[in-house]
Structure 1
Amino acid sequence: MAQEQNLTLYLPFDEADGAEKAYDYSTSRADGALTEAGYEAGRQGNCIRFDGNGKCEVTPSVLSLNSDFTISAWIKNVEPCRRICVVVNYSGVNHKYECPLDTNPDTWYWLAVTRSGNVVCVYLNGTLVQRAVVPTSFGNPVGVCFAQDCYTYELGFGCVDDLKCHQACLSQEDLLSLLDNVKQLTYLLDGVDFKEYGVFVSASKGLLDGLKMKDPYRVEFDGYHGAAIDLSRPRFEEREITLDCFITTTVGKLEFVRKVKAFLDLFSARHKVAEGATLNADLCPAGLHRLMVDIHPVKALVYEVYLPDATDVEKTWNDARMTGTFALKLREPEPVKKVLKHIRTNSSNATTQFTITTNKLVNVYWGDGTTTQDVYGTAVNVAHTYAENGEYFIVITGVIEDVEAFSTNDIVIWDKV
């Protein structure tokens, strides 16, 4: 689709307040640098907040105004701002296009501006509000902005969420698809959608539940009630995940058996060990697999799990449609983690790296089936090269709260989860 193929900048502004960067989730990886701006709760997740003097600067430029383009974003004015004006500037005196829009403060509006040759269109919440033919003598635009009627501030005053730039003029149908794009909940095992095997998840337990704490260090003193408990450094047991599933086929018993076997066989493969690394079988049981729950357009819940017990599929044999139900009981042995995202588009950005300082061992699962084990030390640089283009979630497990320093050029999806 055009909106996917020509996306040159995607800033969902989902970072935590206090972050100095806005991650770009497009293949451009042109992150924004914040100055006097922050984050707060937005339409979905967080949004960026401007207080009149702040900005988010993206370098290098990833959108050419010399060809067709689309810019879209959710925008919320705050008092006293009550108007947004879409402005496309051209070289020359008074060479510009303007489209003023009345808005209510503290209300989210989805704005989009498209350019195709000398035709400029403005959309509000998916509705075309103005189509203008700009004189061809104006040439190409030199700037585009969503301006406000707040004249006491030097820069923007309000909130922005889900900013996207496309190097194409999207149709209204494409724009409505963007507007209505709600991420469908998807369960994947090692990158394979459960639904490819006819498996659907009806309920889940343990994905977001609090972890059970291990028994803390305790001392009992004679003559005193109870015990002295050390709760300053809590440690947690493995995560238990239960997915209530059903599997269905429409071509009878044999196909049903094949699908059940093929799905459960996914758990019998092995992780590969990254080149130059060693696998400590005592610390990392063979057979861990990547469970990913896709809940958000740019984020996901990620777990390295294994299937410890047999799975009983309850069914009634039928020559036509077959349906069976089962509880998939998974275990995550290393439940505390940091999650990164790396986007590989070509050989120049095939390598991911991070630098970590920790005196506790951490393990790294690169998202391509390989793992690096037992990383520790001061300012240790850890790198990995991906062979294929794609988006990879990197899971770093261990006592994450004891990591003294950490830096990376990748996107930090979850700092600690």
Structure 2
Amino acid sequence: MIVIYLLDNIPFKNYNVYVSDSSNLFDKATVKENQKKDWSDEHGYDIDLQSRYHNSKTITIDCFIYAKTLKECIEKYNDFYNALDKKGSRRLSVIADDLRMEYQVFRQDTAENKLNYDDANAVGAFKLKLIENMPVKRILKSTQKTTTITLKSKKVLVINWGDGTEEYTSPAIETYSHTYLTTGIFYPMILGDLDAITTFNSNAPILWNRF
């Protein structure tokens, strides 16, 4: 099975970066500790499990670069990180056969992104650590020039339209619309507490209802 990794819809290999392994892509984010009461005169403890919220999660991708010299390796490495570190979050897409997953991520832990160059094999390796700060999302697949979403929610959510633009929902607004500058397939995401949604409709079909 061939797995393709994309950064803002551009394959990693276009940056001369290849992937040998990854972790935490399909794992659920850890659950935040719920409010609990530990009574001294009762066994165990009492805990509120009526609401369940998740922590952000860290995705680790083992990458490598083919380069004949250390200088060439550093140049390719820097080109990739310059694209990764642009203002705002990045869209990470992972495609494996007919499976496609989307993540809105950013890089933070610089200490973990160490480049190791093997002169004998002319390859540089590094671990790419990305933060998905809002790990619960609904993913749509849009082939329309304009995507429309009708949404009512008890809480504020984030709509990421899949082309680098996003907006917050508002209790005063029910219909959200976005027109893409280019034609193609886009993957809008609704990020946040999906349980707070009371009404949802879109002209874009749902790829993943909750992931």
| TM-score tier after normalising by the smaller chain length | over 0.9
Deviation at 1:404, TM superposition (A): 1.3
Deviation of the 1:217 alpha carbon: 1.0
CA distance in 2 between counterparts of 1:376 and 1:357 reads 9
Distance 1:403 1:296, change over 3 A: farther
Q: Retained in 2: the 8 A contact 1:356–1:378?
A: no
Question: Hey, what's the Cα distance between the residues in 1 that align with 2:74 and 2:63?
Answer: 16
CA distance in 2, matches of 1:407, 1:383: 12
Offset of 1:376 from its aligned partner? 3.5
- CA distance in structure 2 between the partners assigned to 1:296 and 1:335 by the alignment: 23
Q: Which protein shows a greater Rg?
A: 1
Q: Counterpart of 2:83 in 1: which secondary structure?
A: helix
State whether structure 2 residue 183 is matched by structure 1 residue 389.
Answer: yes
1:246-303 Cα distance to aligned partner (Å, 9 max, x none): 1112x43332221110011112212xxxxxxxxxxxxxxxx31100001243x51100
TM-score by length of 1: 0.48
Looking at structure 2, the residues matched to 402 and 360 of structure 1 have their Cα atoms a distance apart, in angstroms, of 6
Letter in 1 for 2:117: K
Match of 1:208 in 2: 26
Compute the displacement of 1:215 (Å): 1.0
Equivalent residues in 2 for 1:299-310, closer than 5 Å: 299-310=99-110
* Cα RMSD (Å): 1.7
Alpha-carbon distance, 1:221 to partner: 2.4
Out of 65, 71, 79, the position equivalent to 1:247 is: 65
Aligned residue for 1:244, secondary structure, equals strand
How far off its partner does 1:388 sit?
A: 0.5
Query: Is the aligned partner of 1:184 residue 2:10?
Result: no
Q: How does 1:7-406 map to 2 (within 5 A)?
A: 184-249=2-67, 251-270=68-87, 287-297=88-98, 299-310=99-110, 311-317=113-119, 322-344=122-144, 350-373=145-168, 375-377=169-171, 380-406=174-200
Kindly provide the amino acid, as one letter, of the partner of residue 300 in structure 1: R
For residue 166 of structure 1, what is the aligned residue in structure 2?
none
Contact 1:357–1:378 (Cα < 8 Å) also in 2: no
State the secondary structure of the residue aligned to 1:404. Answer: strand
Contact 1:358–1:378 (Cα < 8 Å) also in 2: no
Q: Distance in 2 between matches of 1:393 and 1:400?
A: 17
Higher strand share goes to which structure? 1
Cα 1:198–1:361 shift into 2, 3 Å: same
Distance 1:308 1:257 in 2: 20
Instruction: Provide the C-alpha distance between the structure 2 equivalents of 1:376 and 1:416, rounded to a whole number of angstroms.
Output: 21
How far 1:378 moved relative to its partner? 7.0
AA partner of residue 107 (structure 2): L
What secondary structure does 1:342 align onto?
coil
**Higher relative contact order, structure no. (Cα contacts within 8 Å, ≥ 6 residues apart):** 2
- Structure 2: give runs of 5+ residues left out of the alignment: none
Cα distance per residue 1:57-90 (max 9 Å; x no partner): xxxxxxxxxxxxxxxxxxxxxxxxxxxxxxxxxx
Aligned AA for 1:208?
F
Query: In 2, Cα distance between the equivalents of 1:302 and 1:368?
Result: 12
Q: Aligned equivalents of 2:140 and 2:173: distance in 1?
A: 18
Read off the aligned partner of 2:96 and give its amino acid letter. I
Give 1:108's aligned residue. Answer: none
Give, as a single letter, the amino acid of the residue that structure 2 aligns with 1:411: P
- What is the one-letter code of the residue matched to 1:263? F
How many residues were matched structurally? 209
Q: Is the 8 A contact 2:70 2:117 kept in 1?
A: no
| Residue of structure 2 in register with 1:86 after alignment | none
Query: By how many angstroms is 1:362 displaced?
Result: 0.5
Aligned to 1:393, what secondary structure does the other structure show? coil
Distance in 1, matches of 2:167 and 2:74, equals: 36
Identical aligned pairs, as a percentage? 31
Shift of 1:379: 7.0
Q: Which secondary structure does the structure 1 equivalent of 2:131 belong to? A: strand
Once the 2 structures are TM-superposed, how far is the Cα of residue 197 of structure 1 from its aligned partner?
Answer: 1.9
1:337 is displaced (CA, Å) by: 0.3
Instruction: Output the amino acid matched with 2:130.
Output: L
